Each structure stands twice: as structure tokens, then as C-alpha cells.
Amino acid sequence: MSVFGTYYALAPNAGESRFAQVHYVVTLATVVILTPGIAMAINEQREILAKIGSLVALLSMGLFALVVIRKGAGTSP
């Protein structure tokens, strides 16, 4: 997530896009799902939340890649 934040700080026009807003929501969902999922997996309970959270994290990374491809790197003049 620090990579995401650094990119959006260096390219503020990218952070204003609709894809960036969707990316934020998906990344937030990743944290909410994956964190208890990992704890449950460590405690040898069901691992389904960790698996779902991992898939949502991959989706988040894909959305971030789309934002970077569409908006480029750095700031626009």
C-alpha cells in the first residue's frame, strides 16, 4: 500500500480518476478481509478469508496497474 500512496502523491492527477477511487475501495476491502483471514489461518481455523483476501489483493494490484498505464508516471505539466 505504501507504493500506491507514493505513486498517488507523485502523480496527483492519477488520484483523481475513477479507477483510483475504485482502487482505493478494493484496497480497503483487501485489508478488511485479509487481516482477519491471516489471523484465522495462523490459528488453524478456516482459511477461506485469507484466500478471498488474496484474490481481492490481486484485483487491487491489477487496478493499480491500470491506473499507472492510463495516467503514466510522474506529474503532468
The number of distinct structural domains making up the chain is 1
pLDDT given at position 37: 94
pTM metric for this prediction: 0.82
* pLDDT tens per residue across all 77 residues of the chain: 788 988 988 888 888 888 889 999 999 999 999 999 999 999 999 899 999 999 999 999 999 999 999 888 765 55
pLDDT at residue number 76: 54
Contact yes or no for 27/3 (Cβ under 8 A):
no
Instruction: Let me know if residue 30 belongs to a domain.
Output: yes
Q: Which three three-digit cell numbers place residue 62?
A: 491489477
Residue 75 lies in a domain: no
Residue 66 lies in a domain: yes
The C-alpha cell that represents 67 in the structure block: 491506473
Domain that holds residue 36: 2-70
* Residue 55 pLDDT: 96
